[in-house]
Amino acid sequence: MSSFSPGFRGRDRSVTDRLPPGQYPTESFPVLSAGPTPKVPMETWKFTITLEDGGEHSWTWDEMMALPQEEPVHDIHCVTRWSKFDTRWRGVSVDTFFEDVETSADYSVAHSYGGYTTNLPLDDLLDGKAWIVHSYDGYPLSPEHGGPARLLVPHLYFWKSAKWVRGLQLTHQDEPGFWEAGGYHNYGDPWQEQRHWGD
């Protein structure tokens, strides 16, 4: 015989459908970083795509802000097991940066001010899957959350959304980044619980 507690209806079905295995929802926005928060003045900030042959395409802050802006709303999932629903951002689609970029590379390494790196297949950055964002919830992105600009790749664990992003290096070979070289999963799909190598 099952028991019943008055007033308890179970977890909202929409929440369970949106929550990857092993995750819990949070209203807060925890701050986790691999090192100290770098100070990056917008006057000197630059975003650079480095091609496999060494060629470069670069944008200053003002040039990025002059590009078409989007306002993606996505759930995000951290490998430390928290998930935050309906996060609201403003920034530029990675597709926009690649409009005049010709490459035969299959992979990329995101580089950050401060030295952090993370690797991603190029396909996971294109076709509306990723952005360079500069605002969160209607306000400029704070330094502790990756400001002035960070990579946003919401379909992967959040360590792939590199804070303080300064560029993408395109490569023919997959090159593990900071956490991947330390034992984190090379891809990081929350729905497959790809937290560590071997998952």
* Phi and psi angles of residue 29, each rounded to the nearest 5 degrees, phi first: -130, 85
Q: Which phi and psi (to 5°) does residue 3 adopt?
A: -100, 160
Closest CA to 60 of 161, 148, 172, 177: 148
- Specify whether the CB–CB gap between 177 and 168 falls below 8 A: no
Question: Smallest Cα–Cα separation from 169: which of 102, 105, 115, 123?
Answer: 105
156, 136, 71, 161 alpha-carbon torsion, rounded to 10° = -20
Cα gap 125→47, rounded to integer Å = 15
CB 84 within 8 A of CB 25: yes
**Quick one: tokens of 104?**
């035969």
Q: What are phi and psi of 55, to 5 degrees?
A: -65, 155
- pTM for the complete prediction? 0.90
Q: What is the pLDDT of residue 31?
A: 76
Rounded to whole angstroms, the Cα distance separating 197 from 182 reads: 9
Q: Residue 16: its pLDDT value, please?
A: 77
Amino acid at 140: P
Going from the C-alpha of 141 to that of each of 13, 48, 199, the distances in angstroms are: 31, 20, 32
Chunk the chain into consecutive blocks of 10 residues (it has 199) and report each block's average pLDDT, rounded to whole numbers.
Answer: 39 75 90 79 96 97 98 97 97 97 97 97 98 97 95 98 98 96 96 90
